[in-house]
């Protein structure tokens, strides 16, 4: 049985931009200076106990802050999540009918629950990486062809 999809989101207008920028600078400085550290101790204000976090978690938090600082909202989705065809289409930036064609052509693995399709997030991200790589190769080939033709 799959767990329900839990998505946490933060929009840029929900946080103070100055606080985000300050926190981001401090985290980036720390990560650069303490590049060997596996655990990060975060001191909490007002004399409370500190937090101990794994470095990858702090790095992810820095990436979230970077997006917010750039004025973009952020959503966190569990890796093992299964998405609806509409959610998958939105993530890839394609229409739902196009997404369904990809599934029917078996370009992306999925499963059916009754009449509904569920697509693992990991498979969507893998497809996205393959598609990006395919596009990069095509651009490289066009560049090489242009050089051969002298343009």
Q: What is the pLDDT of residues 64-76, one digit of tens each?
A: 999 999 999 888 8
Identify the band that residue 37 occupies on the pLDDT scale cut at 50, 70 and 90: confident
Q: Mean pLDDT throughout 131-146?
A: 91
How does residue 116 score in pLDDT terms, banded at 50, 70 and 90?
Answer: very high
Q: What's 11's DSSP letter?
A: -
**Phi, psi of 53, deg, nearest 5:** -125, 145
**Tokens 């103070």 belong to which residue?**
16
Which residue intervals of the chain are DSSP H helices?
A: 17-33, 55-69, 85-92, 96-104, 121-148
Q: Measured between alpha carbons, how far is 104 from 97 in angstroms, rounded to an integer?
A: 10
7, 79 contact by CB (below 8 A): no
């Amino acid at each position: 049985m799959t767990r329900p999809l839990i998505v946490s989101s933060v929009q840029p207008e929900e946080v103070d931009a100055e606080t985000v920028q300050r926190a981001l600078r401090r985290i980036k400085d720390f990560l650069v200076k303490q590049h060997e550290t596996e655990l990060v101790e975060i001191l909490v204000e007002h004399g409370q106990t500190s937090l101990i976090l794994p470095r990858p978690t702090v790095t992810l938090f820095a990436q979230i802050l970077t997006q917010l600082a750039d004025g973009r909202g952020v959503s966190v989705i569990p890796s093992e999540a299964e998405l609806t065809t509409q959610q998958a289409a939105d993530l890839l930036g394609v229409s739902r009918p196009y997404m369904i064609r990809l599934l029917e052509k078996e370009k992306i693995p999925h499963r059916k629950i009754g009449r509904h399709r569920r697509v693992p997030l990991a498979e969507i991200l893998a497809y996205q990486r393959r598609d990006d790589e395919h596009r990069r190769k095509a651009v490289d080939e066009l560049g090489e062809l242009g050089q051969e033709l002298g343009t």
